[in-house]
Structure 1
Amino acid sequence: MHFIKPSEHLIELQGEYSYPIIFLSILIACVASYTALSMNKRAQQRSFFHRNFWLSLASIAMGFGIWSMHFVGMSAFSLPVSMHYDRLLTIISVFPAMFASFLAFYIANRPKKLFWSYGIASVVMGIGISTMHYVGMAAMKMEALHVYNAWLFTASILIAIVVSFIALYVFSTLQRYMENHFIQLMTAIILGLAVSSMHYTGMIAMSFYVSPDHSHTSTAAHEVQMSFIVISVTIGMALLLSLLLLSSLLDRYVKYRTNHFDMLTRLPNRRQFEKKLSHSSVKQTLAIWHFHDMEKINRENGYLYGDGVLQSISEIMVNFNPPQTDLYRIEGNRFAFLGWGTESETMFKASMEKIAQMLRDSTVFQEKEIVLQAVCAWLPASQQNDATKTYSNVLAVLNSPSLQYKFEIILYNPAVHTYTFEREIASDVERAMAEDELYLVFQPKINSKTREIAGVETLLRWKHPTYGVLSPAVFIPILEANNQMLDVTDWVIERACRQLAQWRHAGEGIEHVAVNIPGQYVTSSRLLKVLKQTVTHYGLEPELLELEITETSFVRSIDEAIRAVRVFRQEGFSVALDDFGTGVSSLSYLKQMPISTMKIDKSFVDEVPMSEKDSAIIQAIIALGDSLNLSIVFEGVETEEQVQFLASTCEQPIIQGYYFAKPMIASELIAWARTFRQSV
């Protein structure tokens, strides 16, 4: 590396720049920056892969982008001399850029960032970028002597440090806003221009000299070689960025498969089953196979063997799955067939009988003889009066005390099954509360702009000793029909307040809990008394407890409900209007409802942003909520696209759904919250 011209007799060469290639080099730097920011954003989200995996990919994308920009930028400058690159130095030059990029993302993702840390990181990053540039220049072998202007050489390094500082500070400051595509794009352009400015300052710092007797080479050969480099680097860059983006898509796919499919059998899981069952507007044929005493097979042969048996069972069911029917694994020992239409019910039952015959004959698995015990309960669409009770009716068959597991195909009979099951559930609820068969799970609500935990919603679950885990969609209607939900709600309020008090005492940072209130309980004077006694007992401020009331509660008696909610608000409690948009109340009443929060039902969120109609409805609801100064919570959010749309549409959107977290018991929630805060 020379800073002084060795001889006064040397002649300085004048080169030429290709402006299209300059533009291409800057574009490569910006695209690489955008890809790196996308990889870094994945590190902040719940992912199948560890966050360090995404930080490493972000560093590779940014480092390789800087390296590619350098060599494409070099190709934009042509001299009338022959030239080639030292392959070893060319390869080595990429590593300082990757190291500098990793440092930048590491600093930007630290939970606590001090101003001096930006200074140290920018110096190291600037030196890393400069090292990459000048090692790359050293890899350039030509007949001309290149000499650096010391002032411009120093200026290029200072520029690299300064722009690194600016890029780091801007990136870290805007980290929470990276869900917004426009801000992410602007940040990528800043990073790309920062890298490019250093490169071309370094190029200006160079002068090229040859002896007077040197014969000038045509630039044609240089242009051919440079064109080859430009094409090669551009193709390589495109392939790398494509692989990185493909990894992001792969992660989303793996996450989707994990959340929606059973890992053992690869069948859709209970979550998909309940979604399909509850969102269908037509009557459906439902059959559930229950395999009895699978735990005994596991104990006697081991869980790996038991898993193999279940896989073999699932293969039989897949092979005989009726037309127009979906197959699910809804529990460890239960499979469900959900079909639509009434014209194929004969074929449906015939398929169930074939499955029964195959299972009856399949007594040997993995060279071991076992005894399977199973039964199938089913309800055809043509025999249903109420589609909302399809699942509970079939469950009533499986819960019949006279049931035997001899591969029978049992048709639901309302005279035999319903009364027994519902009576037993209604009679067991007192014991369930006393013995903690009823339990609470909590689903966090996240401010998608600040990534802060805004609170949790309390949800009720029941692990029945005979029937296993019962869906709330099954037991809550039974309890409501028997006027038992009031006592259960009092129990939920007490347990939720107790848990909140424990979290506050332990300093866990969860300061707000929401509880669902049944419609018939809203206007009862008993509810206010229970609320005041409970928060006083546990030393809680009323505003820490939010009452979630469905829109249908207001529809039943709008004036009484408004008066009741006004009293709750005067006492300091928050009140949320749950499942907004699913009722039939007039919007003219909304301005009279003294609510503090509006919860948007999942059915409005499912199709955004793909559906223009649903997106327009969401925007209208947001505008309505903002005009009434209400907090807005979006339920059932599951995809990154939904989060980005809501974040760009709403000023302070609160997100609740599987995108961030599923409902969890208290200990799981705290472990999740600690990990989530560290990632943010």
Structure 2
Amino acid sequence: MFSAPSLAQYEVLQGEYSTPIVILSIAVAWAAAYTALSMNERSRKSSFFHQKLWLTFAAISMGIGIWSMHFVGMSALSLPVDMHYDRSLTFLSIIPAMIASFLAFYFSSRSRRTKTSYLVAGLVMGIGISTMHYVGMAAMKMDGVIYSYHFGLFALSVVIAIVVSCVALYVFSILQHQSERFFVRVAIGCMLGIAVSSMHFTGMTAVTFYVPIDQPLMEGMAHSMDELFLAKSVAVSMVVLFGLFLVSSVLDRYVAHQLRYFDSLTKLPNRRLFEKNVENLTYDALAVWHLHDLESLNRAHGYTFVDEVIKETSRLLKSTKPALVDLYRLDGHRFAYVSRGVKGSHVLEEAMEKTAELLKQPLLVKEQQVKLQTVCALSTIGVGEQATDLHTRVMAVLDHPTIQFQHEIIHYNPVVHTQSFAQSLLDDVERAMAENEMYIVYQPKVSTSLKKMIGVEALLRWEHPEHGFLSPAVFIPILEKNNKMMDVTDWIIDQVCQQLQAWQTNKEHDWLVAINIPGNYVTSPRLLHNVVDRMEFYGIDPKYLELEITETSFVKTIDGAIEAVNQFREKGFGVALDDFGTGVSSLSYLKKIPISTLKIDKSFVDGVPQSEKGSAIIQSIISLGESLKLKVVIEGVETKEQVDYLTTTCNSPVIQGYYYSKPLKAHDVVEWYSSSSSTSACHSPSFVD
């Protein structure tokens, strides 16, 4: 292997390299390394798929890249002799590269990592690259040609593969918290690509080809080789590589969707998807089953047993679900059936009667019989009513003081139930504010031009001791209808001013905070007096507060709203026109309203950029806002495709939505800001659930 033949019988065979093909081989190595790192990074995330699945994908990708780079690099070398490949050895040579890649990624991705683990990972990867190369060289057959290696260069090629692999995997490991960043993966992918290609071409420098002196050579440097076999093999490997990348992207989207919209225990759609669908789809009836007193089962048997009870209950509920009915798990003890289509309410009612009969029977869980206490609240939609009213109605049924958990199906009766739930919330408002059952969360607003968070929107939440977490879509309409929202808004303003003072006192950040103002409160002198009083009391500059006023409030009282906004602006407050596009009759007044910010409603963002009509409307609204020299804020952004589209459509959009972050509590906002600043917020979304 390392000894040269007699020069009396052999002469050195000279070859030439094709520069474009050399560059292509290096690009293949980088692409494979980038793909492998992307999949390895996914293996660290919480997923429905086992970590080893992603590690296997990463190993296959890296192995294919090493193998393809080698044979593309070999095709760049021109020798004046016939050349072909031993097909068995050719395919066999990919195995050590895949095995080594799997082990290297496994060692470097463990939660407990030491310098030894980095060394072992790099050593395994380097040996795998080298083994693949030299097995691939052994697969190369040339008539009459023999070759030998220069030991020093041979050893150097192996050392290069090991050292560069160690460095690349070490850098990747210590930067794992930034591995979602495109440029980090590109840089580390380049390092691994360099490890592969450097080893290959150093190894090729180490080899010397010899041909018998009397053997005739081909004219020129173009050799004859099994090009069709090689081309097909490399092409298939590239198809597999990019196929894996595509599959991993699809799986990634699937996992993100499952984690966000589906309950992990029962695999049923969760409350978030329920609220989204009720707003966007046409439903005509809702039935909610309440499982009573699960806490007693927890105390008696433990949480694991109760989880099994819930799973068994979900299986029972699924078995009675009609075709045109959707089943959701709303929270720990409530399941919802929602019907759609003609005669859906009649079908749903029949199914609920069947379900009630089944729930009367004990469930068999871990060889124990469990008798559940349940009740079902059912409401149907009437003419001119909205699907969002259904949830409020069933909640009114379930929270009525006369409720009994004896597997009954109780229909919503406005005479009996309307005032009960609403009144219970109204009675609890003062206590909720005093005892912090109500609290404020803040959703970041990210400037894509500055690549950082520039402000937040303050949003109200309510964790009720009896009803659990109440959706704002449920309790805010009740508070507004009963003139309680003004008092709550004053409380929100006080809480936000306190938080602004705390952030500024701690010298953490000076952020602009937006507060939603109810439509009927906009023109009240009380609002201006209260907000000025609170800002002065806490020593906050008005420039740090922005009042978000819905478009419909302008439409209803345009003259009074314009006067009120003028007063806010004179005091130094920012004013945003919220949910723009939902009250089109205000369009002619837009130039008269002295607002500072235009917020585009989420309903226009959904479907962009796939929807041509939606995209056209977004472009028109953005152009309108920019022409009026208004700051444009786009809310409800959830996908990277939407961000990319909006960034190219708008000069410097401010984006708010789940793509970057859900609403966070005050201390979490500071942590999110610090984390997103170090990882470039505009390229690294944070889906925090």
TM tier, smaller: 0.7 to 0.9
Structure 1 residue 563: Cα displacement: 2.3
Distance 1:407 1:384, change over 3 A: farther
What TM-score comes out, normalization by structure 1 length?
A: 0.78
SS in 1 for 2:407: strand
Q: Distance in 1 between matches of 2:295 and 2:531?
A: 43
Structure 1 residue 364: Cα displacement: 4.1
State yes or no: 1:340 paired with 2:318. Answer: no
Structure 1 residue 430: Cα displacement: 1.4
Contact 1:5 1:147 in 2 (8 A): no
- Which runs of structure 2 are paired with 1:240-251 in the superposition (5 Å)? 240-251=241-252
Contact 1:373 1:407 in 2 (8 A): yes
SS in 2 for 1:483: coil
Equivalent residue letter for 1:577: L
Structure 1 residue 409: Cα displacement: 0.8
Structure 1 residue 673: Cα displacement: 4.1
Farther-moved stretch of structure 1 (62-71 vs 82-91): 82-91
Farther-moved stretch of structure 1 (289-298 vs 496-505): 496-505
Farther-moved stretch of structure 1 (606-615 vs 46-55): 46-55
Q: Distance in 2 between matches of 1:362 and 1:134?
A: 63
Structure 1 residue 510: Cα displacement: 6.4
Cα distance per residue 1:504-533 (max 9 Å; x no partner): 334444623221111111122222222222
Distance 1:227 1:368, change over 3 A: same
Contact 1:400 1:421 in 2 (8 A): yes
Q: Distance in 2 between matches of 1:56 and 1:666?
A: 40
**In structure 2, what is the equivalent of residue 471 of structure 1?**
471
Q: Distance in 2 between matches of 1:309 and 1:541?
A: 55
SS in 1 for 2:578: strand
- Which runs of structure 2 are paired with 1:514-525 in the superposition (5 Å)? 514-525=514-525
Structure possessing the higher relative contact order (Cα contacts under 8 Å, 6 or more residues apart):
1
Structure 1 residue 352: Cα displacement: 0.4
Contact 1:82 1:217 in 2 (8 A): no
Equivalent residue letter for 2:395: L
Q: Distance in 1 between matches of 2:45 and 2:396?
A: 41
Q: Distance in 1 between matches of 2:404 and 2:92?
A: 77
Q: Distance in 2 between matches of 1:499 and 1:415?
A: 43
**In structure 2, what is the equivalent of residue 587 of structure 1?**
587
Q: Distance in 1 between matches of 2:548 and 2:51?
A: 35
Q: Distance in 2 between matches of 1:452 and 1:44?
A: 26
Structure 1 residue 678: Cα displacement: 4.2
State yes or no: 1:279 paired with 2:280. Answer: yes
**Which runs of no fewer than 5 residues in structure 1 stay unpaired?**
107-124, 149-153, 155-160
Contact 2:64 2:237 in 1 (8 A): no
Structure 1 residue 396: Cα displacement: 1.0
**In structure 1, what is the equivalent of residue 458 of structure 2?**
458
Q: Distance in 2 between matches of 1:43 and 1:568?
A: 51
Structure 1 residue 262: Cα displacement: 0.8
**In structure 1, what is the equivalent of residue 214 of structure 2?**
213
Contact 1:622 1:632 in 2 (8 A): yes
Q: Distance in 1 between matches of 2:6 and 2:510?
A: 70
Distance 1:197 1:550, change over 3 A: farther
Structure 1 residue 12: Cα displacement: 6.2
Distance 1:39 1:177, change over 3 A: closer
Contact 1:284 1:341 in 2 (8 A): yes
**In structure 1, what is the equivalent of residue 291 of structure 2?**
291
Q: Distance in 1 between matches of 2:404 and 2:382?
A: 26
Structure 1 residue 656: Cα displacement: 2.0
Contact 2:16 2:221 in 1 (8 A): no
Q: Distance in 1 between matches of 2:450 and 2:437?
A: 37
**In structure 1, what is the equivalent of residue 483 of structure 2?**
483
Contact 2:97 2:131 in 1 (8 A): no
Structure 1 residue 299: Cα displacement: 1.4
Farther-moved stretch of structure 1 (234-243 vs 286-295): 234-243
State yes or no: 1:649 paired with 2:649. Answer: yes
Q: Distance in 1 between matches of 2:355 and 2:550?
A: 43
Contact 2:283 2:338 in 1 (8 A): no
Q: Distance in 2 between matches of 1:298 and 1:177?
A: 39
**In structure 2, what is the equivalent of residue 232 of structure 1?**
233
- Which runs of structure 2 are paired with 1:310-389 in the superposition (5 Å)? 310-382=310-382, 385-389=385-389
Q: Distance in 2 between matches of 1:5 and 1:371?
A: 88
Equivalent residue letter for 2:262: F
**In structure 2, what is the equivalent of residue 618 of structure 1?**
618
Structure 1 residue 261: Cα displacement: 0.6
**In structure 1, what is the equivalent of residue 268 of structure 2?**
267
Structure 1 residue 308: Cα displacement: 0.9
Equivalent residue letter for 2:266: T
Equivalent residue letter for 1:337: Y
**In structure 1, what is the equivalent of residue 663 of structure 2?**
663
Structure 1 residue 554: Cα displacement: 0.9
Q: CA RMSD in A?
A: 5.0
Q: Distance in 2 between matches of 1:331 and 1:460?
A: 20
Contact 2:63 2:95 in 1 (8 A): no
Distance 1:193 1:467, change over 3 A: closer
**In structure 1, what is the equivalent of residue 549 of structure 2?**
549
**In structure 2, what is the equivalent of residue 254 of structure 1?**
255
**In structure 2, what is the equivalent of residue 439 of structure 1?**
439
Equivalent residue letter for 2:255: V
What TM-score comes out, normalization by structure 2 length?
A: 0.77
Q: Distance in 2 between matches of 1:263 and 1:499?
A: 35
SS in 1 for 2:585: coil
Distance 1:349 1:432, change over 3 A: same
SS in 1 for 2:267: coil
Q: Distance in 2 between matches of 1:55 and 1:679?
A: 24
Distance 1:375 1:492, change over 3 A: same
Contact 2:9 2:212 in 1 (8 A): yes
Q: Distance in 1 between matches of 2:220 and 2:299?
A: 79
SS in 1 for 2:647: helix
SS in 1 for 2:416: coil
